[in-house]
Amino acid sequence: MNIVEALNVALPEIPEQRKKRPLEMDPRLVAREHVMEGVPIVRVLVPEAHEYYNLPPHLWNLLQLFNGERDYEEIAELYTAQYGIAATGDWVRDFATQNAEASFWFWTPLEKSARLREEQAAKHRAQAQKKSNNLAEIAFPAWDPDKALTWIHDEFPFIFTYQFLLVSLGMFGFAAYVAISRWGEIGRDNLEFYNFTDKSGIDILWFWILIFCISVIHEFCHGLACKHTGGESHSMGFLLIYLSPAFYCETSEAWVYGRKWQRIATAAAGVWSSLIIYSIASFLWWGTASSSGVHRAAYMVMLASGILPVVINLNPLIKLDGYYIFTEMLDISELKENSTGYVMNWIKRNVFRLPVEVPYVAWRRRLLYVPYTVASGVYSYGLLFFVVTFVYNIFHRYSAQWAFVPATVLALLVFKSRILACWKFMKLFYLDKRDFVKAWLTPARYLALTVAGLVILFAPVWRETVEGRFFLEPARRAAVRVGVPGTLAETYADEGQTVSAGMPLLRLRNVDLESEAAGIAADLKTAGAHAIRAQLRYADYATAEHRRRELSEVDHAVQGKLAHLTVTSPITGIVVTPRVHDLLGSYLLPGTEVLEIADLSILQALIYVPEPDMAKIRVGTAAALRPDGLSASTFGEVAFLATSSSDLEKGLIPPEAYKGIKGSRYYIVRVPVVNGEGRLRDGMTGSAKIFVRRQSLAGFAWRGIRDFVWRKLW
């Protein structure tokens, strides 16, 4: 700090005494007439400040009369004489006063120095507040690309020809064919490419190199399109949009020099270049061997430049390329600001009854403003929430207990401006309604509200629930097995058929067993005849009778085996085995399971409950079950609590997307359910709520705080 700066800081400020000269229009202004929303406007560019203003033609005519010598009365007289419109000095003064801070005035070096000193402190405070309050968009200018853009524009003029347009469209068509034909792998890999949780340091480095190169080309093409309209681009650099890295190129002059379709082309040029890069990479990936380095590199370029980046850029809900294309197509400037301002003021005026002015908007425009504001707000806040959640998941890999600290700090930084805006609104609402509330809030009403608040806060009327996923299985299930060997000859039941206990299901054939049974039956008949003859002759009767009894026992055993050739149902239920008829002609060994019978009159829900919630559940606790495919709920009571944890049924709960998050252990809770109407089926899945004790709101809050403290600081 030199002596001048030290004195400037240490000494009190002395107001400058200077004579103000009349305002003068900057002679370097560039103006073009446009038509916006059916209304003619003059778009005025300030080259030095890289800013532009939209002025009605009559105000542009008035601005040109400010030459630094005429006073307001002289300007009014000259304006009336030239354009035939009556004007007064007060009207000219109002215009000059309202636009005193605009950039289209000419200032001498001395005047600039004085204005700079007057505005420096306020400007620094405003910039500091903007940077601290708004993380939606942070720019870091890097360099002036105008010379490079001029050289490229002059050396490669074919880029702006119809022939190049047709070639590009052909390339896009081929890339679309490749993407559709190989969508199974390309679609999945587009999401995996942007998943940082399982990438190594080298992978992340190559990712950012690719993104950097493609983004530079993307922004250069914006600048080239701006240059083709006759404008210039003097700023290019790094940008954070909701803390997501991006690049930018200043192209505001295209909105002054260019016509409507030229402005649209300027906004679309970046996406167009990304699609060209994607098309070239698709051709190389499609035509090279899968083991080559070119094949792999081309595929990485496809993922970095292709579908997901293009979709994000063309999204009109935030101020990227798609937003500017969308607003130009609709011929509506500042759509996001105007729609948000209209909707918020309407809510403040009609819902909260605040004294704010709602700008007039035609009913057709409202049909756009309202859904756009809602969709844009949901998308923007969802994007902010995603960023915070993503940071939490990254830190969770390193410290599961303290990952909430950086995530909370980031959330406060990201949402700081929104929190402050909400606080200002609440303050305004309080100040506006304070007198009314004081008049309405008599002592009796105050006491009644206090009592009601205490009841709501401390009365144990709120039912605490434990939620979990479940699947249904029959309470009774029987496996039907073959008792004797044989070939399956007939089936009498198939999948889904209801059978009763003892009903024949299958019939087997066993020729050896049947022949043995026939032989034993003949021998038994002969032995019986011998026994009768011996009894009549009183000769050797004991031996004959013993033989008959032996054969009778063998015949009984063989007949039992023959009976097992017909397989019957052990219980009443439904056949749940598919394609039983496929076994016809198969030779089955004893013990082979051929089908399964399930009794669906009573099912049981196997609810997977996280480990921390198991202490709240008791046998006999009521539970509500809602299968995913049904709208109505089914009720039951807990009949069994598992004593050890179990693995989750596959597909019951989606797998955790981030490897750094370790899922909880689960315990099975069984709840029998009567299937009276027959709507429930074996294998159905759904969500369950187990109703535990009732608590107050204060109890919920205290328990949450206590568990948090004990879990982190035990």
pLDDT tens figures, 349-402: 888 888 888 888 888 888 888 999 999 888 888 877 877 777 776 676 666 667
Mean pLDDT of the chain: 79
Lowest mean pLDDT among 165-169, 428-432, 531-535: 531-535
Q: How confident is the model at residue 659 (pLDDT cuts 50, 70, 90)?
A: very low
pLDDT at 166: 92
Q: How confident is the model at residue 8 (pLDDT cuts 50, 70, 90)?
A: very low
pLDDT at 522: 77
Q: How confident is the model at residue 310 (pLDDT cuts 50, 70, 90)?
A: confident
Q: Tell me: the pLDDT tens digits for 628-647? A: 878 778 888 888 888 887 77
Contact 117, 107 (CB under 8 A): no
Q: What is the pTM of this model?
A: 0.54
Percentage of the chain lying above the pLDDT 90 cut:
2
Q: Residues 413-431: what's their mean pLDDT?
A: 82
Residue holding tokens 């009601």? Answer: 452
- Give the separation between CA 634 and CA 138, rounded to whole angstroms: 53
Q: Which amino acid is at 546?
A: H
Lowest mean pLDDT among 75-84, 103-112, 442-451, 509-518: 103-112
Collapsed DSSP state (helix, strand, coil) of residue 374: helix
Residue 603 clears pLDDT 90, i.e. is over it: no
- Give the separation between CA 354 and CA 426, rounded to whole angstroms: 11
Q: What is the DSSP letter of 672?
A: E
Residue 170 clears pLDDT 90, i.e. is over it: yes
For 350, other C-beta atoms within 10 Å of its C-beta total 10
Residue 7 clears pLDDT 70, i.e. is over it: no
pLDDT at 662: 47
Q: Which residue has the higher pLDDT, 138 or 395?
A: 395
- Give the separation between CA 145 and CA 123, rounded to whole angstroms: 27
Percentage of the chain lying above the pLDDT 70 cut:
85
- Give the separation between CA 97 and CA 102, rounded to whole angstroms: 10
- Give the separation between CA 343 and CA 104, rounded to whole angstroms: 32
Q: Which residue has the higher pLDDT, 194 or 185?
A: 185
Q: What is the largest CA-CA distance in the chain?
A: 161
Q: Which residues of 552-564 are buried (b: 16+ CB within 10 A; e: fewer)?
A: eeebeebeebbeb
pLDDT at 22: 82
Q: Which residue has the higher pLDDT, 180 or 49?
A: 180
φ and ψ of 604, to 5 deg: -130, 135
Q: Which residue has the higher pLDDT, 6 or 204?
A: 204
Q: Tell me: the pLDDT tens digits for 486-532? A: 888 888 888 878 888 888 888 888 777 777 777 777 777 777 777 77
- Give the separation between CA 521 and CA 527, rounded to whole angstroms: 10
pLDDT at 280: 92
Q: How confident is the model at residue 658 (pLDDT cuts 50, 70, 90)?
A: very low
Q: Which range is most confident: 174-178, 242-246, 429-433?
A: 174-178
Residue 4 clears pLDDT 50, i.e. is over it: no
pLDDT at 397: 62
- Give the separation between CA 666 and CA 500, rounded to whole angstroms: 37
3-state secondary structure 681-706: CCCCEEEEEEEEEEECHHHHHHHHHH
Query: How deeply is 83 buried, as exposed, middle or buried, from its count of CB atoms within 10 A (0-12, 13-18, 19+)?
Result: middle
Residue 113 clears pLDDT 60, i.e. is over it: no
Q: Residues 276-284: what's their mean pLDDT?
A: 91
Residue 333 clears pLDDT 60, i.e. is over it: yes
Residue 306 clears pLDDT 80, i.e. is over it: no
Q: Residues 447-455: what's their mean pLDDT?
A: 88
Residue 75 clears pLDDT 80, i.e. is over it: yes
Q: Return the structure tokens found at 512.
A: 């050896």
- Give the separation between CA 375 and CA 326, rounded to whole angstroms: 14
- Give the separation between CA 386 and CA 379, rounded to whole angstroms: 10
φ and ψ of 531, to 5 deg: -65, -40
Q: Residues 266-285: what's their mean pLDDT?
A: 90
Residue 2 clears pLDDT 50, i.e. is over it: no
Contact 115, 107 (CB under 8 A): yes
Contact 270, 248 (CB under 8 A): no
Q: How confident is the model at residue 711 (pLDDT cuts 50, 70, 90)?
A: low
Q: Residues 280-305: what's their mean pLDDT?
A: 86
Lowest mean pLDDT among 132-141, 143-152, 295-304, 621-630: 132-141
Q: How confident is the model at residue 201 (pLDDT cuts 50, 70, 90)?
A: low
Q: Residues 55-84: what's their mean pLDDT?
A: 85
pLDDT at 697: 81
pLDDT at 664: 65
Q: Which residue has the higher pLDDT, 17 or 455?
A: 455
- Provide DSSP, 225-292: HHHHTT-----EEEEEETTEEEEEE--TTHHHHS-HHHHHHHHHHHHHHHHHHHHHHHHHHHHS-TTS
Contact 507, 566 (CB under 8 A): yes
Domains in the chain and their CATH numbers? 20-129 (3.90.930.60), 134-331 (no CATH), 335-440 (no CATH), 463-471+601-712 (2.40.30.170), 474-588 (no CATH)
Q: Which range is most confident: 200-214, 346-360, 539-553?
A: 346-360
Lowest mean pLDDT among 189-203, 326-340, 574-588: 189-203
Residue 161 clears pLDDT 50, i.e. is over it: yes
From the list 321, 607, 656, the residue with the least C-alpha distance to 466 is: 607
Residue 701 clears pLDDT 70, i.e. is over it: yes
